[in-house]
Amino acid sequence: MLKIEKIQKSFKQKDGSNLQVLKDINLDIKEGEFISLLGPSGCGKSTLLNIIAGLENPSSGSILVEGNEISGAGSDRGVVFQDAALFPWLNVFDNVAFSLKEKGLKKDEVERIAIDNIKKVHLSKFKDSYPHQLSGGMRQRVAIARALAMNPKILLMDEPFGALDEQTRLMLQYELQKIWMETKKTIIFVTHNIREAVQLSDKIVIFGTQPGNVKETFEVKAARPRQMNKGYLVHLEDKILDILKEEIEKVMKEEMGDEYNFEESSLPWDPTRDMGSNI
């Protein structure tokens, strides 16, 4: 379905040197799969998503959707961004209908598809509201409906729930699972939240940093809809955290220099504990 072959990406820095952000990424994604790209910030997972979306060009390598190499952005790949990126001058209905009108569909067709997708995210009551009148979670739902309305083969999500509070996030994770089961879309989901990845995915791709590379891939074989804190999922979370620890430490050291030491700061430390000087 989606084949990512030997993707490399480097940016030219101001001093003329090249910063490599992605190194030799190979992925094979099956139709209807829910894949999470998981890694610490700065590992290039969002860059990879942008490349798949066609918003950025890779330095080398190719991306094939159903055997055809992509060139630029296209409506076969819908994207949901971290900040919903809705058009503030359009109401919910017009936002969702935007791509349909662009395609030149007939008016009643546009209306049917748009309303259908707004229903899918339970926002029928708000179809005439403007983005500024909605909460963060509702905006994100509109963004999902907007992406689904194009009926893309692949849905790309770039930390879509990253800016939301915990309750809203859980609600939307649950709803996303339902939408995914109904529509059977292929979803590529970028996140830095381990629990979120474990909750949602069939497959988790763990990214290493500097340069970004695929460190390990996990299959999550648990029945859906999933519930939190089931033994297997918790066990998996721990396993992933162990792998990521090393990467997080690498990033922290890069940012803070030698002042930072992951092992040291993870020592148990109790503010009431004194060295006996108060006896």
Q: Which of 1, 5, 130, 215 binds another protein (CB under 8 A)?
A: 130
Q: Which of 16, 88, 268, 271 binds another protein (CB under 8 A)?
A: 88
For residues 80 and 145, what is the distance between their CA atoms, to the nearest angstrom?
A: 9
For residues 102 and 126, what is the distance between their CA atoms, to the nearest angstrom?
A: 23
Burial class (CB in 10 A: 0-12, 13-18, 19+), 55: middle
56 CB-near residues (< 8 Å, 6+ apart): 9, 47, 50
Using rule CB under 8 A, residue 103 touches another protein = yes
Structure tokens at 5: 């072959």
Q: Which of 19, 73, 222, 256 binds another protein (CB under 8 A)?
A: 73
Residue 161 near residue 172 (C-beta atoms within 8 A): yes
Which of these ranges, 9-17, 24-32, 82-90, 253-261, lies near another protein under the rule CB under 8 A?
82-90
Tell me whether residue 89 or residue 269 sits nearer to another protein (CB atom): 89
Residue 44 Cβ vs another protein, minimum distance, rounded to whole Å: 17
66 CB-near residues (< 8 Å, 6+ apart): 1, 153
Task: Give whole-number Cα distances, 110 to 85, 120, 143, 179, in Å.
Answer: 21, 16, 17, 20
- By rule CB under 8 A, what string of x and - marks binding of each residue 208-247 to another protein? ----------------------------------------
- By rule CB under 8 A, what string of x and - marks binding of each residue 41-60 to another protein? ------------xxx-----
Tell me whether residue 87 or residue 262 sits nearer to another protein (CB atom): 87
Using rule CB under 8 A, residue 98 touches another protein = yes
Count of residues that interact with another protein, criterion CB under 8 A:
26
Using rule CB under 8 A, residue 78 touches another protein = yes
Using rule CB under 8 A, residue 79 touches another protein = yes
As a residue count, the chain comes to 279
For residues 278 and 252, what is the distance between their CA atoms, to the nearest angstrom?
A: 36
Tell me whether residue 42 or residue 54 sits nearer to another protein (CB atom): 54
Residue 184 CB neighbour total at 10 angstroms: 11
Q: Which of 25, 114, 150, 157 binds another protein (CB under 8 A)?
A: 150
Residue 222 main-chain phi, psi, to 5 deg: -135, 150
Residue 32 Cβ vs another protein, minimum distance, rounded to whole Å: 21
Using rule CB under 8 A, residue 75 touches another protein = yes
Report how far Cα 156 is from the mean position of its chain's Cα atoms. 7
Residues near another protein (CB under 8 A) are: 53-55, 72-75, 77-79, 81, 83, 85, 87-89, 98-99, 102-103, 130-132, 146-147, 150
